[in-house]
Chain A
């Protein structure tokens, strides 16, 4: 059964899926940051976050109030397109269909793992009926 999009179950599956991608762990071996996701047009849905330390996800769950280095958000329609791969990560960022708060330099420096990370989000069977 697919996890509800942007649920705690979904973000935890994302964290688990991350483990199956050694390439992103290698690319991010010097990277240490937290980031949060939310749905712009669904303020009733709680935000979720990931914490990556030296390439490994060490926290995947509800946004718990700790400092976030990046925040990514957009409306449900754009989330669907990003997760399906219809919009690439770079394109989503450049056209601001994926809203982004945080260091743009870091996003550019780690553009390849950024794209892999969006692919990982799309690999989780998801139920958008929320």
Chain B
């Protein structure tokens, strides 16, 4: 019995020591980096832009002695923070509203996000309006013949709740998660949706631009083809800008340099790496 006690105590001591030293190391490095850094750029806003901003921040921090804090709290909250100066820069995945612009906010488009509606290659429907897309996904239209296709049932394929692409798609098309037709197939990931649509001639789904290939057929929206070019020219409507918004008086030098970095070739390369559409 005594042996157990000793062994337990020994283990505990070891464990605690390890824990303490780990904490110690953590603290040391933290204080070091904050001492060395020239400043902190605080960024908050959209959860869709967030991952991209995080990635850009990590790459930027590798080369520059600056601390970038990215908080993903939603576009509206980010815009409010940028206006009030709580955050130096706000992130938005939607265009600014008139009253938001009136507060003297500057906006910089750092990337675009494009989503395409896809069907089975054999499907005769090649063009839809946003309104028709909405009717399909909310279950108002349930047969392809109502849209000029063959007489067959529509099988809706959607991403899972919480997915950024799904949020974006619903926001642009204009329906909520509660309105999504209940019998829709729910698949996780763009690839999964593509496979499901590619193997079912009844199916319709949506994916990011980068997943487009010959196994599926892409739908034109109001006659406009889903291409990065059309997104950049703002012709293709299933797209949205990723914005950085800021007020002149709150923006520091390092903040301006970070924005310049994102717009540079190097920054835009990272943008296309993450699957968004670069601005040039």
- Chain A partners chain B: no
